[in-house]
Amino acid sequence: MSANSGFEDDYQKLGLKVGIEIHQQLDTKGKLFCRCPNKLILKEPDFRIIRTFRPVLGEEGKFDEAMLLEFKKGTIVEYEGYYDYNCTYEYDETPPFECDEEALRIALEIALLLNLNIIDELHICRKNYVDGSVPAGFQRTIIIGVDGYIPILESRKIGIELLCLEEDACKKILEEENKVVFRLDRLGVPLVEIATAPDIHTPEEAKIAAERIGLLLRGTGKVKKQLGSIRQDINVSIEGGNRIEIKGVQKLDWIPLLIKNEVKRQRTLLKIRDEMINRKIQREELNPKPIDISSIFQQTECKLIKNGLQLNQRVWALKLPKMKGLFGIEVQDDRRFGTEIANKIKVITGLKGLIHSDEDLKKYNFSENEIRMIKEELNCKEMDLFVLIMGPEQKLQDAINIIINRVLYALDGVPPETRRALENGNSEFLRELHGGARLYPDTDSREIKIDPNLIAEIKSKLPKYPWELIEEDAKNYNLPNNIIKELLLSGDLFLFKNIMSFYKDKPTFVVSTLLETTKALRREGFDLDCISDQQYIEIFKLLNDKKIAKEGIEPILKYLSKNPEDSIENAIKNIGLSNISIEELENLIKNISSQYENLIKERGLGALGPIMGAVMKEVRGKIDGKIVNDSIKKYIENKLKSINKQQQKSNQNKKSQKKSTKI
């Protein structure tokens, strides 16, 4: 059965539904439920705390399945923190403070821009997490508004189901087997979570909607713009399938491909279901007992199994009746149904995967005799599939249960789950899909009553929608519309306007610095998130006052990224960017050009390039490159005039000597 057969792009027929969740950090002075600074710290931590977690009952008296799964992993969690930047609330030793007023006002403004109905009495809830990302085991969250919309095209609106104000989780630093390390500096940073209704019906429409919401958020000028400050998840389902949450969608361009590949995956899983029904596979057949077949491999040439047995691991085999060929079906590009199950085993148990008979077993160096003995031991028939799993005995039963449960669910089609987005547009299992059982009221917090006068005040000051201003800004600064949109999406439009208020004549250079230079430096590994907008403004003021040159901006940014606590004055001093005078430049050009006299005689102004390169090595960042270029050109022209005069004088002397000789 081909995984690609019958795949059309008719998403209406497929019943495609997509919803988007966007999490955006707010640019406030403090955190949401304590008064620690809203700031990421780059230095080494001052202390470490170790914790373990267990699930608790939700409001309905039930355990959340995804939480139980996390608990079974038995992970030890370590937290890193700072004495000057973290408090006892953050590692769950004291109750929360009142909700931060600045964050609440920003959340209300965004909710009104999204045409949401504001809830007049806000209740703080707890949302359970046992993966360790929140030391308390739960995240505090507040539903601010419901039932809104955002226009994405002239005649098309996307519903916004709700907007929540909540605290961000810790930043993951390291993950090892049975241990994960988090840092507390990001914990508690205020963020809004925006959830659209599942009424997006094409992959391209999903990208437009995500971009439009991103523009709206950036257009407030009150959200963080650093890498990782905005995170997108998408929920995808088709008719007959199930809701799948794909987390970690880092770029807008990923969205259409992730949706297309998820549609392909769900359609393929439905085809596998239909094939299982066609083969009359019964549920009671899919509960076989595993068999320990380690003894078969005492003389094996399979290095994987040989190495495992030397570590006292065991090999278990499982027969899945009438399943032959189904594990080998491709559900996404280069990912088969068997890969899906192997990935789930790895995430939950840590075991590195499985081997199944739909694969080419020769690549593992199995002998024909070993394959025959496995089939005999399991009593496999022609249409049966066998699976091998290897590991410590205590983990093997968990792995077997995962295989059986996943195959059983294949009879229903698509299991609801949370998946991780991969860069190639595929996705892989991350955890079971969280349900409502993990949400319950926070007993440490009071309700927040919203004053109608506050709503009226915020409404009166709402900014225009950014997509309405793009054309206007493009015209004002003589720039293409797409450049203004890129500045908006990067969060740099307000910074650009501030700089242009005094550095008026070079908009393209400012754009190049904010978008291209910073992008190139990040690619080289420089972390520019610690550099504030105010520091960029100070740098451009120095440039405007001719105290540094354009070429000095890049080394200053590099220095500040490595020394975030240092001042721009010290940066200039320590990297040797002190300005030089025209007189000093002319003397330097004279000294350097003396080494190029023959080249000047031979090539004239063609010598400008080599001399420019040599001079710029000495003055880069200290004086504008155009001034250097003009000064060298002037020097060469004067030098050529001097050479011509000497040549003319020499020719005249030669003529005089000839006349004297004739006489």
- pLDDT of 262 over the 90 cut: yes
Q: Which residues pair with 391 in a beta bridge?
A: 314
How far lies 467's CA from each of 153, 185, 199, 234, 539, in Å?
11, 34, 22, 23, 29
The per-residue pLDDT for range 388-413, each reduced to its tens digit, is 999 999 899 999 999 999 999 999 99
CA 98 from centroid of its chain's CA atoms: 31
The pLDDT of residue 645: 80
> Mean pLDDT score of the chain, rounded to an integer?
89
The per-residue pLDDT for range 290-320, each reduced to its tens digit, is 999 999 999 999 999 999 999 999 999 999 9
Mean pLDDT of 515-520: 95
Mean pLDDT of 279-288: 93
Backbone angles phi, psi at 530, to 5 degrees: -80, -10
The pLDDT of residue 3: 40
155, 71 in Cβ contact below 8 A? no
What is the band of 536 on the pLDDT scale with cuts at 50, 70, 90?
very high
Side chain identity at residue 643, one-letter code: I
- pLDDT of 337 over the 60 cut: yes
User: How many whole angstroms separate alpha carbon 179 and alpha carbon 181?
Assistant: 7
- How many percent of the chain have pLDDT more than 90? 68
The per-residue pLDDT for range 219-232, each reduced to its tens digit, is 999 999 887 889 99
- pLDDT of 538 over the 80 cut: yes
- pLDDT of 250 over the 50 cut: yes
Side chain identity at residue 512, one-letter code: S
Mean pLDDT of 245-257: 94
The pLDDT of residue 335: 95
User: How many whole angstroms separate alpha carbon 496 and alpha carbon 494?
Assistant: 5
**DSSP codes joined into one string, 172-219:** EEEEETTEEEEETTSTT-EEEEEEE-S-B-SHHHHHHHHHHHHHHHHH
Mean pLDDT of 267-288: 96
What is the band of 60 on the pLDDT scale with cuts at 50, 70, 90?
low
Q: Decide which of 639 and 278 is more confident.
A: 278
455, 108 in Cβ contact below 8 A? yes
The per-residue pLDDT for range 407-444, each reduced to its tens digit, is 999 999 999 999 999 999 999 999 888 665 567 899 99
> Could you tell me the two tokens for 638?
């004067």
Strands (E), 515-578: none
What is the band of 643 on the pLDDT scale with cuts at 50, 70, 90?
confident
HSE value, Cβ hemisphere, 13 Å, CA-based, for 23? 19
Residue 663 belongs to what H/E stretch? none
Over its C-alpha atoms, the chain yields an Rg (Å, rounded) of 33
The per-residue pLDDT for range 66-92, each reduced to its tens digit, is 666 666 667 789 999 999 999 999 988
Own/partner long-range contacts of 168-177 (Cβ < 8 Å, ≥24 apart): 168/23, 168/25, 169/129, 169/133, 169/134, 169/139, 170/79, 170/132, 170/133, 170/134, 170/135, 171/40, 172/133, 173/80, 177/350
Side chain identity at residue 652, one-letter code: Q
The pLDDT of residue 9: 60
By residue count, the chain amounts to: 663
- pLDDT of 155 over the 50 cut: yes
HSE value, Cβ hemisphere, 13 Å, CA-based, for 360? 2
pTM value is: 0.82
Q: What is the dihedral of CA 271, 274, 278, 282, to 10 degrees?
A: 120
The per-residue pLDDT for range 564-596, each reduced to its tens digit, is 888 998 888 888 766 666 777 777 788 888 888
The pLDDT of residue 6: 42
What is the band of 1 on the pLDDT scale with cuts at 50, 70, 90?
very low
Mean pLDDT of 496-512: 93
Q: Which of helix, strand or coil describes residue 535?
A: helix
User: How many whole angstroms separate alpha carbon 483 and alpha carbon 477?
Assistant: 10
Q: Which of 1-5, 337-341, 615-619: highest mean pLDDT? A: 337-341
User: How many whole angstroms separate alpha carbon 117 and alpha carbon 13?
Assistant: 33
Q: What is the dihedral of CA 632, 636, 642, 643, to 10 degrees?
A: 150
What is the band of 8 on the pLDDT scale with cuts at 50, 70, 90?
very low
Backbone angles phi, psi at 180, to 5 degrees: -135, 140
161, 147 in Cβ contact below 8 A? yes
**DSSP codes joined into one string, 601-620:** HHHGGGGHHHHHHHHHHHHT
How far lies 61's CA from each of 55, 438, 439, 606, in Å?
12, 10, 11, 83
The pLDDT of residue 76: 87
Of 276, 410, 278, the C-alpha closest to 344 is 410
User: How many whole angstroms separate alpha carbon 219 and alpha carbon 213?
Assistant: 10
The pLDDT of residue 4: 42
- How many percent of the chain have pLDDT more than 70? 92
Of 113, 110, 111, 142, the C-alpha closest to 126 is 142
Q: Decide which of 596 and 263 is more confident.
A: 263
What is the band of 2 on the pLDDT scale with cuts at 50, 70, 90?
very low
The pLDDT of residue 52: 78
User: How many whole angstroms separate alpha carbon 140 and alpha carbon 96?
Assistant: 9
Q: Which residues contact 295 (CB under 8 A, 6 or more apart)?
A: none
The pLDDT of residue 231: 92
CB atoms within 10 A of CB 504: 10
The pLDDT of residue 605: 85
Q: What is the dihedral of CA 36, 40, 41, 42, to 10 degrees?
A: 180
For 620, left (φ over 0), alpha (ψ -120 to 50), or beta? beta
